[in-house]
Amino acid sequence: MSRARLERRTWGEIGARVRGADPRLQDLGLTLLVLLAVTMPFVVPRSADLPPADWASYAMTVLAVVPLVWRRRAPVAVLVAVLTLGGVYKLAVDGPGQPIPYAGLIAFYTVALLSTARVRLAVAGLTVVAVALSVGWNTGTARELLFTLFVTAAAYALGRLQYTRQAYTSAVEDRAAQLERANRIEAEQAAARERARIAREMHDILSHAVSIMIVQAEAGPVAVRRAPERAEAAFEAIAETGRDAMAQLRTMLGVLRTDGGAAAAPRRPQPGIEELAGLLERVRGSGLEVGYERTGAVRPLPAALEATVHRVVQESLTNVVKHAGASRVAVRLEYGPRDLAVTVTDDGRGPGGGGGGPGTDRAGGGGRGAAASGGHGLIGIRERAAAHGGTAQSGPGPDGRGFRVRVTLVTSGQEVGM
């Protein structure tokens, strides 16, 4: 760092400390500085034809400076006191005097900085009168009058400029504080949305996997007694479902890792529409007949939208396996010009059927059954649909039989690979 830059930095730090000091200490320091300036004529050598520098003159000079200590608390009163004491000094003592009325200019500057418009205008008018009287009493020359009015106007202008600067700085600080609060709120909301998304993902993965494994495990002993060859397939389906769930959970937890270590789990894309075939095949392994149909202009969709379709179908099938007691379920994807409709319909028990089991997460309408039982499947489906500007409906199937979940997702205006 160069010497000039170091000096600028040092003076900048000193200035910052001074500005950050107690205002009363600032006023005291300013008063002492002015007092030092007005003391100079009393200590430097003087010509014999000039007024004597006696203690009475110096005492009156000091008294005219001391009110500056209270300039912030009573700016108008301080200005009146300074001008009055200056007039008394001129009339009664007439000592060495000052080429520039430092105390009066600072008091006038403070009035311009802190007072209201009405007070400023009144004080400015009275000050002009006082200046004219003082100049007339002193030399009466136009030169002195113009000079005094100029420095007085400069003090007023500096006061107003300082007021504008402080107001601007305060506005900038307020704006920065508001932005900081807004950013903090946005970060908290983003974190809450991410927690909700992760909770939905883990719910869908675990709920689906555990449901399939339970169904296969319950069928396993029966298959061992009646058809041993089917028992092996059931146990293999349990293992495959568990491995797939572990892989998906490992991927999700790998995304949450922040240490960047070598042990971080490999990441892979979220499952999409093409992975529905494997999902449906695993559900068929539980003994459920699954139909799958795609209609309309089949086309690639954004990755996030395809992941939502996969999770909606997965959660709907999980509800069928857990609660419906169905023998058949149909999955239908209808590609429209601007949307995609996903419908999952089963032939099992309806929303209120089956007592405490099936009705828990299959209540239509407002999802009251889900909330009462602690289930979040249908709630998660609605949240996923809303995230893509869509809607979700659930209720009885055709002719009031079974259960149907229908989700409509907006596809227009989205780029592939989002």
**Tens digit of pLDDT for each residue in 72-108?**
899 999 999 988 888 777 777 766 666 678 888 899 9
Domain's final residue, options 91, 124, 140: 140
146 lies in a domain? no
E strands within 257-356? 289-296, 328-335, 339-346
Produce one character per residue of 224-233: b if its CB has 16 or more CB atoms within 10 Å, e if not: eeeeeeebee
Tell me if 64 sits within 8 A of 102, measured CB to CB: no
The alpha helices in 89-141, defined as continuous H runs, are: 102-114, 117-138
305 lies in a domain? yes
386 lies in a domain? yes
Write the pLDDT tens digit of every residue in 371-396.
333 345 788 888 888 888 899 998 88
259 lies in a domain? no
413 lies in a domain? yes
CA dihedral of 372, 377, 382, 385, whole degrees rounded to 10: 170
pTM of the entire predicted model: 0.49
Domain's final residue, options 107, 140, 173: 140
Write the pLDDT tens digit of every residue in 305-323.
998 898 899 888 888 887 7
Q: Which residue has the higher pLDDT, 14 or 213?
A: 213
Domain's final residue, options 140, 161, 178: 140
CATH number for position 416: 3.30.565.10
Q: What domain range includes position 367?
A: 288-418
Which residues 6+ apart lie within 8 Å of 162 measured at CB? 109, 113
Tell me if 27 sits within 8 A of 71, measured CB to CB: yes
Closest C-alpha to 314, from 242, 248, 393, 381? 381
Of the candidate ranges 8-17, 25-34, 55-64, the one whose mean pLDDT is the lowest: 8-17
26 lies in a domain? yes
Closest C-alpha to 381, from 409, 400, 402? 409
Write the pLDDT tens digit of every residue in 204-241.
777 777 777 777 676 667 666 666 666 666 666 677 77
Residue 409 parent element (H or E): strand 403-410
28 lies in a domain? yes
Q: How many domains does the chain have?
A: 2
48 lies in a domain? yes
